[in-house]
Homo-oligomer: A and B are copies of this chain.
Amino acid sequence: MLGVCYYPEHWPESWWAEDARRMKAMGIGFVRIGEFAWSRMEPQAGVFDWGWLDRALDVLHAAGLKVVLCTPTTAPPKWLVDAHPDILPVGPDGMVRGFGSRRHYTFSSATYLLESRRITEAIALRYGKHPGVAGWQTDNEYGCHDTVMSYGPEDLREFRQWLRRQYQSPDQLNEAWGNVFWSMEVQSFDQVSLPNLTVTEANPAAQLDFRRFQSSQVAAYDKMQVDILRAHSPGRFITHNMMGFFTEYDHWPLGEHLDFPSWDAYPVGFTERLPFSEEEHVRWAETAHPDISPFNHDLYRAIGKGRFWVMEQQPGPVNWAPWNPVPKPGMVRLWTWEALAHGAEVVSYFRWRQAPFAQEQMHAGLNLPGLHELSPGGKEARQVGEELARLGALPKSGQGDVALVYDYEAQWVLDIQPQGKDFRHGELCFRFYEALRRLGLDVDIVRPGASLKGYKLVVAPSLPIVSEAAERAFAAAEGVLMFGPRSGSKTRHYQIPGNLPPGPLQKQLGLRVIEVSSLRPGLSSKVTGAISGTATRWAEHLETGAKVLGKFADGKPAVVQNGQCFYLACWPDEKLLQGLIGRAAKAAKLKTLALPPHIRLRRRGDWVFAFNYGPKAWPLPKGAKPLLGSKTLKAQELAIWKAGPG
On A, residues with C-beta under 8 Å from B are 9-10, 36-40, 43-44, 72, 75-79, 82, 89, 93-104, 144-145, 147, 177-187, 191, 193-206, 272, 278, 281-282, 285-286, 316-317, 319, 322-326, 354-362, 364, 368-371, 375-376, 417, 419-421, 493-498, 500, 514-523, 539, 541
Contact = CB atoms under 8 A, between A and B. Distances in A.
Given A104-B199, A184-B358, A322-B421, 19 more contacts: A39-B185, A43-B185, A75-B182, A75-B184, A79-B191, A96-B197, A97-B197, A100-B202, A100-B203, A182-B358, A281-B520, A322-B420, A323-B420, A325-B518, A325-B520, A356-B496, A356-B497, A361-B495, A368-B500
Nearest to A202: B100
Contacts of A417: 319, 361-362
B205 A97 contact: no
B324 A357 contact: no
A101 B99 CA distance: 32
21 contacts: A38-B183, A44-B187, A76-B183, A78-B185, A97-B199, A98-B196, A100-B203, A101-B182, A101-B202, A102-B183, A102-B199, A104-B199, A177-B358, A178-B355, A278-B521, A282-B520, A282-B523, A316-B515, A319-B417, A361-B417, A376-B515
For the complex formed by this chain, how many copies does it contain in all? Answer: 3
Contact of A494 (B144, B357, B515): B357
Given A98-B198, A496-B356, A183 B514 contact: no
Nearest to A540: B326
Contacts of A195: 100
A99 B198 contact: yes
A514 B182 contact: no
A354 to B, nearest CB: 8
Nearest to A180: B9
Given A181-B10, A199-B103, A357-B181, A326 B375 contact: no
B178 A286 contact: no
A517 B317 contact: yes
Contacts of A355: 178, 181
Contacts of A78: 184-187, 191, 193
B357 A323 contact: no
A298 to B, nearest CB: 27
A367 to B, nearest CB: 11
B183 A39 contact: yes
Contacts of A197: 95-98
A29 B520 CA distance: 36
A183 B100 contact: no
Given A369-B500, A498-B370, A179 B358 contact: yes
A100 B370 contact: no
A247 to B, nearest CB: 18
Given A82-B191, A199-B103, A182 B36 contact: yes
Contacts of A89: 199
